Homo-oligomer: A and B are copies of this chain.
């Protein structure tokens, strides 16, 4: 039951990372300040620069942690699918929880932009996207989808773009979008019947 100083320190660090993830989405990357982070995390302002070299470093670490977790989670769900079409359906279902204006979606977008002005962050983030593309391309190749790399890149891009556009207002139903995306992975065209879902 004893809480050592190191334990409390780790907890403070953890709370600061969580606060950073929230505030990036709420206020925007450049608008997150030292005192804002400290207040949200329930610590004194000085603690921020005790645990992190700079506010930038804190924001980067927080964003990367969230993104990596989510990509891994999505990838795990993908493994259950038996066909690429099914995998697409699962992914779109997974994405239904994010409307482009929720904290997670905004965190992604903010991180994308911040990466353009921070070389280290850009490299790390590029690695996350590349990893997702590679995993997806592997699944596609297993099912004889032609041009798996390019197809995976387009799907990954479409997903991010769909999230971006959702933030701006209503668009077509997710089910309709999924049906369109399925054209990308249909191994053989099943001759479009007169009626379809």
Q: Using CB atoms and an 8 Å cutoff, list the residues of chain A in contact with chain B.
A: 27-31, 101, 106, 109-110, 112-117, 122, 125-126, 129-130, 133, 146-147, 149-151, 153-154, 156-162, 164-165, 167-169, 171-173, 176-177, 179-181, 183-184, 186, 188-189, 191-192, 196
Contacts and interface: CB of A to CB of B under 8 A. Distances in A.
A171 B153 CA distance: 7
Contacts of A129: 165, 168-169
A165 B176 contact: no
A150 B167 contact: no
Contacts of A192: 146, 188-189
B169 A126 contact: yes
Contacts of A191: 189
Contacts of A126: 168-169
B113 A101 contact: no
B189 A115 contact: no
A174 to B, nearest CB: 10
B146 A172 contact: no
Nearest to A157: B161
B181 A154 contact: yes
Contacts of A173: 150
A164 B31 contact: no
B110 A167 contact: no
A147 B31 contact: no
A179 B110 contact: no
Contact of A130 (B125, B153, B169, B179): B169
B122 A168 contact: yes
A109 B112 contact: yes
A165 B171 contact: no
Nearest to A115: B168
A69 to B, nearest CB: 18
Given A161-B158, A161-B161, A168-B122, A106 B115 contact: no
Contacts of A188: 192
